Amino acid sequence: MKILYVAGMPGPVKDILSGKKEDEITHAPGVFHPWRKLVKRGHRVDFILASNFDQKPDIRVDWFSADNIYANIYDPYSEAPWYGRLFRRLKRFIKLIYFVNRAISENSYDFVYGMAFYEGLAGNIVANIRGVPCGIRSMGTMLYHDFKRHGVIRTAIRRPAEFLTFKLKKEFFIMTDDATRGDLVYEKWKPRKEKYRYYFWKTGIEFKTIEEIAPSLELPQHEYIFFAARFDHWKRQDRILKILHHLHGRKCPLHLYFAGGIQSQSYYQKIRELVRKYDLADYVHFLGPIKQDDLKAYAYKAVANPSMYDMSNLSNVFYEIFSVGSVVIGLNDGSLDDYLIHAVNGFLVNDESEAATVIEELLRNKDGAQRIRANAAGCARRKFLSIDERFDREVDLIEQAVYPGRLS
C-alpha cells in the first residue's frame, strides 16, 4: 500500500532528515509512531511538506530515504501580522494542491493522510476530487478557545481552512483528546449529513520505570525545577520563571531547566529578557530539544515540574513525565482532572505563588514527595494507553480504509 502524508514539517520528520535516529526523536509521538508502524507493516509512506527546512538530508535510519519526500515546499515560518501572512498562506496552499495532484497522478497512492489543518485540507480536497481514500489527523485544537472569544460563526469566517476540514468527506478524522475540547468543536462544525467517522482519542506512551531509563545527559547535582515545551507564547515559560522568582524571593535558590525547541523567536527573546529582569541568569538553563529518556530522567529528579499552559496542560510531556513518577504541579484549569488528585499523585494550583508554596513544602517533606511519585506512576499504569494500544488502532484505520474487508 502507498500512503501520501500531506503536512507542515512534523518534528519527527525534521529530526530524521537532520540525522537523528529513532531514540532521538524529541516530540510529536502522534506523528512518529503511526508513520513508523506503517513502514514496519510493509507500506510505502511518502511526504509532501510545507516547511522551513532547506538543508541537505542526513538520514541515518534504514527505513526512510530522501526518495520518500515527494515535495518539500520551502515556506519559512513568519511571525508577521495576519494580513502579512495571508498571501504566503494562499501561495503555499496553491502549491500544495498542485503537488498533491501531481503525486497522485504519478504514483497512484492508495491513501492520502492530511495533518490538520492547512496542509491537511489541501490533501483532503485533492483526494476527494481524485477519488482516493483519505483521513485527517489533528494533534488537538485551539478552536474551542476561539469559539469562546469570537463565537462559532465568526470563528468559521476567521478560520476557513479549519472550518472546511470539518465539513469535507473523508474516511475518518482523528483528534487528540488533550483537554482542548475538540469533541465540542466537532459537535458545532460537523457536517449535517455524516461524511466521516470522528475519533477523539487520548495519546499512548512507552511505559518505562525510572530504573529502565538510560539518560545520555548528565543530570544536575543541585536542586531544580524542570519544564519541557517548545518556546511558544501559549506554553507560558514566563509563568515558570515567575515561580522561580517567587522561590528566590523566599530564600529557596533553586535552578530551572528549560527543554524544548524554539517555535517563536520573539517569545524566546522575551523569556531571555525576563531572566535578566529577575536577575536569574546563573539559575536558568536552556537545554534545547532533548531525547525522551533524558526528558524523563530530568523530570523525575526535579523537585517539581510545574505546567501552566494556556488552554490545556494535558500535553505529551505530561504523559511522559507522569508515567515515570515525576512530581507534576499543574494549573487548576480542569485539563488534568482525569489524572491528578491534589496532594495524592501531584498538585493542582491556581497561580504561580501557590506553585512556589507547594515546592517549598516538597523541599521540606522528602518522604511526602516520594509518596507522590509512587502514586503518579501507579495512576499512569492504570489509566494510560500504551504506544501499541493507541497507534495500532490508527494504522488499522488506514488499512481498513483501503481494504474495507480487512480485519485488524
pLDDT per position as a tens digit, 306-350: 999 998 999 999 999 999 999 999 999 999 999 999 999 999 999
Q: Is the pLDDT of residue 23 over 90?
A: no
pLDDT, tens digit (0-9, with 9 covering 90-100), for 243-263: 999 999 999 999 999 999 998
d(CA 29, CA 370) in angstroms, rounded, equals 28
pLDDT number for residue 88: 79
For residues 49-53, average pLDDT: 90
Cis ω before 117 (30° cut-off from 0): yes
* Whole-number percent of the chain with pLDDT over 90: 88
Structure confidence at residue 75 as a pLDDT band (50, 70, 90):
confident
User: Which residues does residue 233 pair with via DSSP β-bridges, in sequence order?
Assistant: none
pLDDT given for residue 81 in this prediction: 64
pLDDT tier for residue 266 given thresholds of 50, 70 and 90: very high
Nearest to 290 by CA among 363, 216, 219: 216
Task: Enter the DSSP assignment of 134.
Answer: E
C-alpha cell at 139: 494533534
- Is a pLDDT exceeding 80 seen at residue 99? yes
Q: Which pLDDT does position 89 carry in this prediction?
A: 83
Q: Would the pLDDT of 83 be above 70? A: no
d(CA 70, CA 49): 8
Specify the pLDDT at position 90: 87
Grid coordinates belonging to 61: 535510519
Quote the pLDDT of residue 408: 46
Residue 293 has what pLDDT? Answer: 93
Inform me whether the pLDDT recorded for 76 exceeds 80.
no
User: pTM score > 0.85 for this model?
Assistant: yes
CA distances (Å), origin 105, targets 99, 108, 162, 403: 10, 6, 26, 21
Q: Quick one: pLDDT at residue 117?
A: 87
Is pLDDT of 282 > 70? yes
pLDDT averaged over the chain?
94
Among 246, 233, 237, which Cα is nearest to 355's?
Answer: 246
